[in-house]
Amino acid sequence: MYRIGVDLGGTNIKAGIMDESYQILLKDSVPTGSERGFEAIVKDMAALVLDLLKRQSISDDEVIGVGIGSPGSIDSATGVVAYSNNLNWHDAPLADELMKLLPFKVRVSNDANCAALGEVKAGAAKNINNAVLLTLGTGVGGGIVSEGKIFEGGHAGGAELGHTMLVRGGAACTCGRMGCLEAYASATALIRQTKEAAMQDPSSKIHEICQGDLSKVDGKTAFLAKEMGDATGTKVVAEYIGYLSDGIVDFINIFRPDVILLSGGICNEGKNLTDPVNELVKKNCYANNFNFIPKVETAILGNNAGMIGAAALVD
């Protein structure tokens, strides 16, 4: 039997066929074209799935089901996308409409939740039942797997781990509040912090790395400057790691999972990121002398995590 996972993004629709141990047999993608609206996108999703099955010569009765990871607030019980600003959808009945075009069970969940489930099924948290995943990208996404299942809270509106307050009255967050974790621990935030620090220090190697053009600063710049012995780069990295670690401690105090996973481009820093994070987490967790302290690790499935987790949505 086979599973199908679809990762619906603002830019591309990616789909893959997997075997029962979540090995990807075939995958492909088409542009989302989100400006075309809901119906056209649903049609393309169905066509992509049917095309993959045909190319792999898999018959309908060999398919367990189709899972979809979608951005936004998802009501997974009904398969409705309650709200997605990326796709500009409100109350879009994604599962129902897809089931009109496909002879399979269809389930939908939030993309960050799917990424967390993917890592649990076939990635860095394989054989682990409780995991929290933070995606450090444009924003900070949260995915929670509890007892092997996605924990999304009620009313299709929980697990927004990026929108928990860290620095009250601090930097503006996209959600309208000031000082959310997202405004301090996203890649966007790290870039802002790097630029601000460089502007304060004209002698910083950060200027050299981005050839005098601060618009070229990215998530790697501060780490690179630190490696070159630059004091300002070192300070930016230390502060960023402090913010991230405090957010992680909050989620350990709430969920106490077996493992915390980080994903996103910043994770390419590997142990340069996770070693100091683990040190701070160990020091600051509630009841740290008496209780289990989960390790913070980098996710390993990269861009496939959401697709693989989506494929696991259908029981």
Q: In whole angstroms, how close is the CB of 166 to a copy of itself at the nearest point?
A: 5
DSSP assignment of 16-58: EEE-TT--EEEEEEEE--GGG-HHHHHHHHHHHHHHHHHHTT-
Q: In whole angstroms, how close is the CB of 10 to a copy of itself at the nearest point?
A: 17
Rounded to 5 degrees, φ, ψ at 92 are -90, 120
The amino acid that residue 307 corresponds to is M
From 35-43, 190-198, 286-294, 295-303, span contacting a copy of itself (CB under 8 A): 286-294
By beta-carbon proximity to a copy of itself, the closer residue of 45 and 181 is 181
Residues 106-125 contacting a copy of itself, CB under 8 A: none
CA angle 301, 302, 303 (to 5 degrees): 115
Residues 21-60 contacting a copy of itself, CB under 8 A: none
Q: Does 265 participate in binding a copy of itself (rule CB under 8 A)?
A: no
Residues 156-195 contacting a copy of itself, CB under 8 A: 156-161, 163-170, 175-177, 179
From 58-66, 93-101, 240-248, 264-272, span contacting a copy of itself (CB under 8 A): 240-248
H or E segment at 271?
Answer: helix 271-284
Per-residue CA distances from 276 to 52, 88, 155, 239, 288 (Å): 43, 39, 36, 11, 17
From 3-11, 28-36, 53-61, 239-247, span contacting a copy of itself (CB under 8 A): 239-247
Q: Does 148 participate in binding a copy of itself (rule CB under 8 A)?
A: no
The amino acid that residue 24 corresponds to is I
Residues 196-235 contacting a copy of itself, CB under 8 A: none
Contact pick of 70, 110, 130, 135 for a copy of itself (by CB under 8 A): 130
Q: Beta 259-263 vs 131-136: how paired, if at all?
A: parallel
